Amino acid sequence: MSKKVSMKDIATELGVSVALVSYVLNGKFTNRINVETAEKIRKLAKQHNYRPNQIAKSLKSSKTYTIGLIIADISNLFYSSIAHFIEEEANKQGYNVVFGSAYEDPERFASILDVFIAKQVDGLILAVPEGGEKYLERVKEVSLPFVVLDREFAELDRSMIVNIDNYGASKVVVEHFQQQGFTKTAAIALKTNLKHLQARKEGFMETSSQALGLREPLFYEVLEKDLEQEIERIILHAVQVEKVDSLYFFTNRIAMAGLAVLARFDIAVPEQVAVVCFDEADAYKIFKREITYVQQPLKEMSQMAVQKILNPEIRKLKKIFQTKLIVKESTNQIIDNEKL
Amino acid sequence: MSKKVSMKDIATELGVSVALVSYVLNGKFTNRINVETAEKIRKLAKQHNYRPNQIAKSLKSSKTYTIGLIIADISNLFYSSIAHFIEEEANKQGYNVVFGSAYEDPERFASILDVFIAKQVDGLILAVPEGGEKYLERVKEVSLPFVVLDREFAELDRSMIVNIDNYGASKVVVEHFQQQGFTKTAAIALKTNLKHLQARKEGFMETSSQALGLREPLFYEVLEKDLEQEIERIILHAVQVEKVDSLYFFTNRIAMAGLAVLARFDIAVPEQVAVVCFDEADAYKIFKREITYVQQPLKEMSQMAVQKILNPEIRKLKKIFQTKLIVKESTNQIIDNEKL
């Protein structure tokens, strides 16, 4: 066995910087480093039997180069997209991501939080479930940088939150329906007290009320449990009994279940009902009509979340992201004689 | 500040086991522990200002209770589902998951591998990209338990692989088409040398050839780049020129792009073409006809992958998982006078 070498030895032998050797052997900035150079460094390190010891290094630098991400469910399209972008930005900055799914359960959230704190992650990005906000105290106690993503809580400073203008997003949806000639809209949402979804609801209720005068806006809430059956019941009622001409699905899970009902019962879109969904999904393209949707700037939000963790200056910024309505066929204006 | 307490102190004060205190404070077996008990332990630990130090603990036990997962892309439905099930099983066993997306790039795979090894994860679950198998040597050198998931390599012992019978899956698809009266099938796959996808291809080619006699099976390959446009071109050619009566989409990304083409060009399913997709997706329900698909037992595969990492006895097992064809409307038999 050759004697133990340092990164400096490897750097000197190859005529490169110690930093570069460190980056390669710690897998940092992997996108930016020449592949051949990286390979040379790894090869020499291997010849010399160099063994990085992250734990020993961590004790010295008191950094683990790990960001903890707690979301509701990694298999939900919305959160797996966020995880994708967070990983991308974290890697750029030389960090890795450890993730946990809390399934909107505050106790589960607290448990994952405890583990990540114990693992001494360098920062936390948290989609805090309803009732989970009290556990943020634990993060504050250990002075870990954190941001709350896709959620908001009154007691949190705006700079700790990475989120969109939910009220404004719904306002734009209602106005778009009106402009296209759809005046009787039903919205379908998850039953929740989460503040950002309340704001989404208020944007819908207030804008609809203003547009419609005295008529009560149609707003339906479903429980996670029996979501599919509930949504089927609601849509059939809204279309057949209430005679709505448009549907606004509040989340991508509701959208997927709702579109499945429209497909199953052969309800013509937009001829019988126009449709707007929240959040982007490739799947919208396989529906019989392409779907109009509210696009959140997930990449920019994810970048901001990571940067807030790592950069104290960016951590101070207060920014509310704006959504964009991507207009497709599902809200096409209907000319009267084409109506079914 | 109170003096530093041990887990034993906390256990004695509450009359519970030290192990239980350890589980709670390390967030292990979170599903199995009574919520109130856990809360009591946490509360007392907090009162006494107990601070677990995972890094110090890791040095002592040489365990990090972390599993490294490298997949192609966390935002791909197939891998986010796998991540979901792996997280579920890992948590049950008291472990967390750190993940990395290699985007089928062997150099990127090697970089993430180096980082995870340096972080001293306790085991690795790896969807190794084409050309990435040589880097498995690095894992062997440090004697880390690992399994290869959703991939296979000739030089690896079968016990190191968690995968399905890809040949058999395609065989069942072809036979199903035949039984339903569809005799001219085109398959669309990603261009790749990955062995498991080659097996999927062979299953299609050989079974089709046997069924069709001398006629050459129609097999199309597309590159990641321009996937959408390529698939549009291929499907229109297959349907309009080759007059195929059935399509077999080899992966969920190809399925999503393919179904979008069928929707966009209003190609009737199954009247003009029957369709079978690989892998499950909620989205299939929003297509105008429900889609027949090949279901992989992702939950069982994920459980097996985690158990192989943690249990040397299970590590020795050789098992090939079988898929299941979930038959829906997209392969409904066509009665001649109903044909368009």
Same domain, A38 and A73: no
Write down the number of H helices and E strands in chain A: 13, 12
SS3 of residue A99 by DSSP: strand
Same domain, B65 and B155: yes
pLDDT at B232 over 60: yes
* Cα A147 to chain centroid, rounded: 13
- Flag whether B262 is in a domain: yes
What is the per-residue pLDDT across B6-17, written as a single tens digit (0 to 9) for each? Answer: 888 888 888 887
B321, B296 Cβ separation under 8 angstroms:
yes
Q: What is the pLDDT of residue B184?
A: 93
Asked whether the beta carbons of residue B283 and residue A281 sit closer than 8 angstroms, the reply is: yes
pLDDT greater at residue A94 or residue B273: B273
What is the per-residue pLDDT across B62-85, written as a single tens digit (0 to 9) for each? Answer: 688 999 999 999 999 999 999 999
Same domain, B273 and B171: yes
B52 neighbourhood in chain A, CB within 8 Å: 118
DSSP A102-169: -TT-HHHHHHHHHHHHHTT-SEEEE-PPTT-GGGHHHHHHTT--EEEES---TTS-GGGEEEE-HHHH
Asked whether the beta carbons of residue A101 and residue B107 sit closer than 8 angstroms, the reply is: no
What is the per-residue pLDDT across A198-223, written as a single tens digit (0 to 9) for each? Answer: 999 999 999 998 877 657 789 999 99
Q: Which residue in A has a C-alpha nearest to residue B79's C-alpha?
A: A75
- Integer Cα distance of B230 and B237 in angstroms: 11
Same domain, B227 and B146: no
Same domain, B130 and B172: no
Pair of tokens at residue A304: 């901001």
Same domain, A193 and A332: yes
- Flag whether A316 is in a domain: no
CATH code of residue B188:
3.40.50.2300
Q: What is the pLDDT of residue B339?
A: 46
| pLDDT band at residue B21 under the 50/70/90 scheme | confident
SS3 of residue B166 by DSSP: helix
Query: Quick one: B248 exposed, middle or buried, by C-beta within 10 A (0-12, 13-18, 19+)?
Result: buried
pLDDT at A60 over 60: no
Asked whether the beta carbons of residue B283 and residue A283 sit closer than 8 angstroms, the reply is: yes
- Integer Cα distance of A257 and A1 in angstroms: 61
Pair of tokens at residue A123: 């920062």
Asked whether the beta carbons of residue A30 and residue B111 sit closer than 8 angstroms, the reply is: yes
Asked whether the beta carbons of residue B55 and residue A120 sit closer than 8 angstroms, the reply is: yes
Same domain, B140 and B280: no
Q: Which of A26, A30, A107 sits opposite B118 (nearest CB)?
A: A26
CA distance A89 to chain B (A): 12
| pLDDT band at residue B225 under the 50/70/90 scheme | confident
A141 Cβ neighbours under 8 A, 6+ residues apart? none
For residue A255, the one-letter residue type is: A
CA distance A239 to chain B (A): 18
What is the mean pLDDT of the segment spanning B204-215?
83
What is the per-residue pLDDT across A218-267, written as a single tens digit (0 to 9) for each? Answer: 999 999 888 999 999 999 999 999 999 999 999 999 999 999 999 999 99
- Integer Cα distance of A152 and A159 in angstroms: 11
Domain end, chosen from A151, A181, A205, is at A151
Asked whether the beta carbons of residue A283 and residue B256 sit closer than 8 angstroms, the reply is: yes
A161, A304 Cβ separation under 8 angstroms:
no
Asked whether the beta carbons of residue B87 and residue A81 sit closer than 8 angstroms, the reply is: no
A110 neighbourhood in chain B, CB within 8 Å: 42
- Flag whether B1 is in a domain: no
Q: What is the pLDDT of residue B28?
A: 67
Same domain, B182 and B285: yes
- Integer Cα distance of A234 and B28 in angstroms: 41
Q: What is the pLDDT of residue A62?
A: 66
Same domain, A184 and A289: yes
* H or E element in which residue B185 lies: strand B185-190
CA distance A64 to chain B (A): 8
Same domain, B102 and B175: no
- Flag whether B46 is in a domain: yes
CA distance A168 to chain B (A): 27
Q: Which residue in A has a C-alpha nearest to residue B63's C-alpha?
A: A55
Q: How many domains does chain B have?
A: 3
A96, β-bridge pairs: A66
pLDDT at A147 over 60: yes
Q: What is the pLDDT of residue A250?
A: 97
Q: Which residue in B has a C-alpha nearest to residue A262's C-alpha?
A: B286
Q: Which residue in A has a C-alpha nearest to residue B113's C-alpha?
A: A27
Q: What is the pLDDT of residue A100?
A: 94
Same domain, B200 and B311: no
A252 neighbourhood in chain B, CB within 8 Å: none
B142 neighbourhood in chain A, CB within 8 Å: 51
- Flag whether B2 is in a domain: no
How many other C-beta atoms can be found within 10 angstroms of the C-beta atom of residue A327?
14
Q: What is the pLDDT of residue B198?
A: 95
Asked whether the beta carbons of residue B256 and residue A58 sit closer than 8 angstroms, the reply is: no
Which of B20, B63, B75 is the best substitution to test chain A (most A C-beta atoms within 10 A)? Answer: B75
| pLDDT band at residue A2 under the 50/70/90 scheme | very low
> Could you list the residue range(s) of the whole structural domain that residue B40 is in?
7-52
Domain end, chosen from A121, A151, A181, is at A151
CATH code of residue A33:
1.10.260
| pLDDT band at residue B1 under the 50/70/90 scheme | very low
Weakest mean pLDDT among A26-35, A183-192, B44-53, B157-166: A26-35
* H or E element in which residue B251 lies: none
Q: Which of A28, A87, A288 sits opposite B263 (nearest CB)?
A: A288
Query: A58-67, A100-109, A298-307: which has the highest mean pLDDT?
Result: A298-307
A264 neighbourhood in chain B, CB within 8 Å: 285
CB pairs under 8 A between A and B: 177
DSSP A154-213: TTS-GGGEEEE-HHHHHHHHHHHHHHTT---EEEEEE----HHHHHHHHHHHHHHHHHHT
Share of chain B above pLDDT 90, in %: 69
Q: What is the pLDDT of residue A32?
A: 67
Q: What is the pLDDT of residue B133?
A: 94
Asked whether the beta carbons of residue A30 and residue B263 sit closer than 8 angstroms, the reply is: no
Asked whether the beta carbons of residue B81 and residue A75 sit closer than 8 angstroms, the reply is: yes
B287 neighbourhood in chain A, CB within 8 Å: 263, 286-287
Same domain, B179 and B108: no
| pLDDT band at residue A31 under the 50/70/90 scheme | low
- Flag whether A124 is in a domain: yes
Query: Quick one: B156 exposed, middle or buried, by C-beta within 10 A (0-12, 13-18, 19+)?
Result: middle
- Flag whether B87 is in a domain: yes
* H or E element in which residue B71 lies: strand B66-71
Q: What is the pLDDT of residue B29?
A: 63
Q: What is the pLDDT of residue B118?
A: 82
Query: Quick one: A315 exposed, middle or buried, by C-beta within 10 A (0-12, 13-18, 19+)?
Result: middle
- Flag whether A101 is in a domain: yes
A169, β-bridge pairs: none
Q: What is the pLDDT of residue A195?
A: 93
Q: Which of B54, B77, B256 sits opposite A120 (nearest CB)?
A: B54
**Beta pairing, strands B96-101 & A123-126:** unpaired
